[in-house]
Amino acid sequence: MIAVQPAAAQSILRDAETEALLQDMMAPISVAAGLKPNQVRVHLLGDPSINAFVAGSQDVYVFSGLINEAGSANEVQGVLAHELGHIMGGHAIRHAEGAGAATNISLLSLLLGAAAMAAGGGEAAMGIMMAGQQAALGKYLAFSRVQESTADAAGAQYLSKAGITGKGSLDFFKRLQNLEFRYAVKQDDDQAYGRTHPLSGDRIQALRESYVVDPAWDKPSDPAIEKRFQRVKAKLSGYMSEPARTLRNYPESDTSIPARYARAYAWHKSAYPQKALDEAKALLAADPEDPYFLELEGQVLLESGRPAEALPPLRKAVANSRNQPLISAILGHALIATENPDNFAEAEEVLKTAVALDNQNPFAWYQLGIVYANKGDQPRAALASAERYQLMGNSSSLALRNAEIAMQGLPPHSADWIRAQDISLVARAEVERGRKRR
């Protein structure tokens, strides 16, 4: 599991097992909506908030706090179905319509206020501007609430068509309602005016009417998905939470797979590598071929300063996961970390495969740049750095600089030269936009 800092503030958590689970949970819902299984990508953000949102046209972002709060995979699928409702409704694009209408009202109120001031009515002008701002906010919030209700209804339809029970969706809304009660959030209609979402009680009532008559209402959740979810939830808890809290929630008396997973990460974070390895070996005793258990053992060894010992489990993890690119990137890192020149050719092969399968991993590009620099191939090292900086956000000037260095040394009009040119054009445009904003 690694954290990638994008242009927006939150860190995107990249983990092979978690991403595979979230995509498998989304796939049947996507198909029910008329899309291809992997057409919508689900990303995990390292943020304790209980939230999810859509961005762009086909990307769903789920906060780690939501995974931690959810009691089952079915609850998360209810959230994913709701977010897919936003995507299919074009809400990420139409968001600008609501914001635009609100902005138009605000600007109009400012113009009226200026006219009143010119006529000598200062207090009247202030009243007009404040009323205009309130009207703008009210219109925008009303627009948002309509979108949320539409996404609720669409999500219910997708779950039904996919044959997935809506019980988890209702359970999750009840969790949200309980949190609102805990924090004394009022549940009356007067409070609804100032909310971006409808009242939780109203949403539960509306969805219940749809779910209880659905043929899938009493259908049990997929046990394999649920088992994987409990693993991932524990793993995420071990990675994100303070070790002391993880060890309280998953005491050593608990020898289940999820508990061992959580403790392995907690011990590793606490700088107890042997304890972490003991948990990893216990997991492997239960399933010696599991690529994610092998990845865990290799990662603990690598990050404990034992890269040569990490190679066998990581090689096996890559093979058993069919060259999963995130795991391949860790293997490439371990090969480089041995500082054995005999391992660099393998590292180059592994890392080139990793970025070919997933070019959105700045960590893999960084490691590949090290390999190229070690070979004396400075143009391709610069290209790898350009790829890395382009993905990191707020690094357009560095992406531009490295792309231009790469172009100077690469054969003109070759595939790598064209790629460097593409990065240069995009980065230059971003740098110019930044200058104009400043």
Least confident of 138-142, 307-311, 318-322: 138-142
CA dist., res. 315 & res. 69, Å (int): 35
Of residues 244, 245, 246, 242, the one with CA closest to residue 262? 246
E strand or H helix at 41: strand 41-45
* DSSP character at residue 3: E
Question: Across the chain, what does the average pLDDT equal?
Answer: 85
CA dist., res. 299 & res. 235, Å (int): 14
CA dist., res. 64 & res. 427, Å (int): 31
The CATH code that applies to domain 287-361 is 1.25.40.10
Environment class of 285 (CB within 10 Å of its CB; exposed 0-12, middle 13-18, buried 19+): exposed
Distances (CA, A) of 283 to 246, 268, 328: 17, 15, 21
Distances (CA, A) of 63 to 43, 240, 329, 363, 398: 9, 12, 24, 21, 29
Environment class of 183 (CB within 10 Å of its CB; exposed 0-12, middle 13-18, buried 19+): exposed
DSSP string computed for 177-191? HHHHHHTT---SHHH
Q: Which of 51-60, 110-119, 211-220, 419-428 has the highest mean pLDDT?
A: 419-428
Environment class of 34 (CB within 10 Å of its CB; exposed 0-12, middle 13-18, buried 19+): exposed
Distances (CA, A) of 10 to 13, 62, 411: 9, 11, 38
Residue 129 pLDDT grade (very low, low, confident, very high; cuts 50, 70, 90) = very low
CA dist., res. 320 & res. 318, Å (int): 6
What pLDDT digit, counting tens, does each position of 71-127 carry?
999 999 999 999 999 899 876 544 444 333 333 333 333 343 334 444 445 554 444
Of residues 131 and 110, the one with the higher pLDDT is: 131
Q: Which three-class secondary structure state does DSSP give residue 49?
A: coil
* DSSP character at residue 342: G
Q: Whole-prediction pTM value?
A: 0.83
Angle at 85 between CA 223 and CA 14, to 5 degrees: 60
Domain boundaries, the chain: 2-223, 241-280, 287-361, 377-438
| Confidence at residue 105, expressed as pLDDT on a 0 to 100 scale | 36
E strand or H helix at 103: helix 91-118
Dihedral pair phi/psi, residue 39, rounded to 5°: -70, -30
